[in-house]
Chain A
């Protein structure tokens, strides 16, 4: 199929940036969206032009790097899917596709479609961990954990930190991401000792990083490739209020 692409080009973080229009030909419906970009980049290199910078790593939906806002939706049109797992059969011959980087002041554009997501790492550093002694791994069955809690914790731990939730939120809020980290640990006995400080510190860090607050529009849940549920945000709120009223 032949497609028209409108792609955001921006030299560096201080450049204003603009859209460029490209034509790609003979794209197979079996290709992934990123492979289609590889074809376009080869074409650009052959023409002596600068290829488009975009983030990617695993290309199998587990690393969370592939941040593209495609025709108004982070990660493109498919439900519970990452850009790298989006395939060209989602499009038909003659389509025009507009590709933008994640837009949020907390995620400044580095180049073209690449944004700086270090703010997420700093939120995790503020409390998204447990302090344990190193050494041999303990026996998996030594600590009994209720099945439904293990399941819920596991579902929250599936977050790959891609940032689509921030990109889709009208407030650029990082609450879905942060609530996944808080829930993952709050549900397990290992997360209990640092439970209160964790949530207070992570929220404080999120506010410092210039993300907005949650107004429960639920846009984040709709675009999350890992189907992280907004009920995790309710849990985060409960954890925060509990900590705020009881922590010294």
Chain B
């Protein structure tokens, strides 16, 4: 067994998918928690301070590199898996498979992942690029420090109803992706005890709904003027 087998064997590839997937989930929790600061309704002070902390802490900037590497690996391995698996049945059935059990979203992880990817490209272009690359955001005074007004950027971006709809659709795709992905990752790691499996699936479903609804409510509450 060579280490490269972890990236090329069928079980190894799934392990990498699960590992990167769960890391991305951990990131989502932090991301949702920080962004929830917008609901403090203090004209973005708490949120901008949190964003300043994230952007100016060395450990977090290093973790950011890890996050990008992880998501890249997840996307590349995910697409490789989907295309390889599709090629295993060249002659298709005339009557589509009706197994009576598998969920549509568990069969559509490649499609859902691609929708999430499209969303991510738009999302990174909206916030990460102006903040970290082009530095085109307005400045804001945070106590003694000068930070970027990401809050104002959010308010600005979420004035467009089309953008708000695209964000909500992105969150829905992510929700279904995680409804299957969460429990699938743990099964990939070897979890098989009935006692844990029976809580894993509902925990995964509720986690996906709560985290994605939290994200979806951000553009919605800005568009509707609940925070300003």
Contact = CB atoms under 8 A, between A and B. Distances in A.
Interface of A: 6, 17, 19, 69, 71-73, 98, 100, 103-106, 168, 170-173, 175, 200, 203-204, 206-207, 210-219, 221-223, 230-244, 247
B91 interface: yes
17 contacts: A19-B94, A71-B95, A72-B97, A73-B97, A100-B95, A103-B92, A103-B93, A105-B90, A170-B102, A210-B88, A211-B10, A213-B13, A215-B184, A218-B102, A223-B99, A244-B1, A244-B5
A103 B107 CA distance: 17
Interface stretch (B149-157, B161-169, B185-193): B185-193
A152 to B, nearest CB: 10
A247 to B, nearest CB: 6
A173 B107 CA distance: 13
B190 to A, nearest CB: 3
B88 A219 contact: no
B106 to A, nearest CB: 4
B14 A237 contact: yes
A217 B103 contact: yes
B85 A206 contact: no
Interface string B1-39: 100011001111111000000000000000000000000
A172 B89 CA distance: 7
B85 A212 contact: yes
Contacts of A104: 88-89
A222 B11 contact: no
Contact of B85 (A69, A98, A204, A213): A213
Contacts of B188: 216, 234, 237
Nearest to A19: B94
Contacts of B91: 17, 103
Q: What are the 7 tightest A-B residue pairs by CB atom distance, in nearest-first order?
A: A238-B190, A222-B101, A213-B10, A234-B192, A171-B85, A219-B99, A172-B88
A240 B190 CA distance: 9
B85 A215 contact: yes
Contacts of B11: 203, 213-214, 236-237, 240-241
Contacts of A232: 192
A105 B85 CA distance: 11
A6 B187 CA distance: 39
A98 B94 contact: yes
A244 B12 contact: yes
A217 B14 CA distance: 13
Contacts of B90: 105
B85 A170 contact: yes
Nearest to A232: B192
Interface in B188-228: 188-192, 194, 197
A214 B88 contact: no
B1 A213 contact: no
B88 A171 contact: yes
